[in-house]
A and B are shown apart, each in its own frame.
Chain A
């Protein structure tokens, strides 16, 4: 019995060694979203704890619990705007998402207030039946671009899906990858908008039109750098995910 256990441990250690390590360098925040109510804590070092707006629930997640949202209740998790979550440098957002249904467009995370500043938004769009990573225009009438996850295609509901959204400060482009597939790449090369909108998970800040999520979000991380392909593969971990601190 003990020998079997030893063999299993050795096997597990070998399996995890096959994954490249994921550096915590320039990791801004990681929210495990294991809490059942109230404040959701930042597991990393910056104390970017999230405020619970309108009583976000919880449900089974990809790794432990996940935050569970009901759109009709305008539920969201939020933090005030700050330099780390603005598009001032290279940026990578990584998360697991779950749609309860596909009957409406729904926001997974955003920094998007139609009366203040529209900066970025990751959502499911019901018209195209695709995930969209949207580069905002600040609400100033400039170019707004939806980068559509066509490579992945129609996302299934009631399934955990791994998403990576990036902003490359060198070429100024937004990119999106789903389930560790190839990136869909935007064409727009204007500098990303930096504004003061509140960052939300599960909805947008826009009062009265938050395009909220009915579904779940789990293990959301933000880096102020672009991750390598190996790091993304490790975080995807063949669909099993990799818990913080990776």
Chain B
């Protein structure tokens, strides 16, 4: 399921991983990114992110500030959650694509809370 998206995302995820470590070194926290697109991207159809200039109200750092080399067309709606818990700090990259009428989601955890990682699954709205 969504192997195509995984392949298309590979470079972007590597880029995110490198930049997140740099951001952490400077800020002692990871970057939080709100959804890049209003609606999840159609699978295998990279799309320009329409919300990429948004940022959380209490964290005014934008996607392009941290990830200037992120592709102009993204193969999935992406958002990043940052967490800070008893085991330490980490982040989750959330990917969402549309396949027909379904929305599929995958979460990639980087950090100590490994239960947060999930492979592709269909989510109800």
A residues apposed to B, CB below 8 Å: 37-39, 47, 49-55, 57, 70, 72-74, 78, 80-81, 114-116, 139, 198, 206-209
Contacts and interface: CB of A to CB of B under 8 A. Distances in A.
Contacts of B9: none
A200 B97 CA distance: 24
Contacts of A78: 83
A208 B94 contact: yes
Interface stretch (B17-25, B67-75, B112-120): B112-120
Interface of B: 32, 34-35, 40, 56-59, 77, 79, 81-87, 94, 96, 103, 105, 107, 113, 115-116, 118, 121-125
Contact of A55 (B32, B34, B105): B32
A207 B107 contact: yes
B86 A49 contact: yes
Most chain B CB atoms below 10 A, which of A49, A73, A74, A207: A207
A80 B34 CA distance: 23
B123 A207 contact: yes
A42 B110 CA distance: 25
Contact of B81 (A54, A70, A72, A206): A54
B123 A52 contact: no
B74 to A, nearest CB: 15
Contacts of B116: 198
A74 B81 contact: yes
A198 B84 contact: no
Prevailing SS type, chain A contact patch: loop
A51 B113 contact: yes
A139 B125 CA distance: 11
Contacts of A208: 35, 40, 77, 79, 94, 96, 103, 105, 123
Contacts of B105: 115, 207-208
A114 B56 contact: no
A57 B96 CA distance: 27
B86 A39 contact: yes
A39 B90 CA distance: 13
Contacts of B94: 207-208
Contacts of A115: 105, 118, 121-124
A55 B82 contact: yes
A136 B59 CA distance: 34
Contacts of A37: 84
A206 B82 CA distance: 16
Given A57-B58, A73-B56, A116 B121 contact: yes
Contacts of A116: 118, 121
B77 to A, nearest CB: 7
A51 B91 CA distance: 12
B115 A81 contact: yes
Given A81-B115, A198-B116, A207 B59 contact: no
A6 to B, nearest CB: 44
Contacts of A81: 115
B104 to A, nearest CB: 8
A72 B57 contact: yes
Contact of A39 (B85, B118, B121): B85
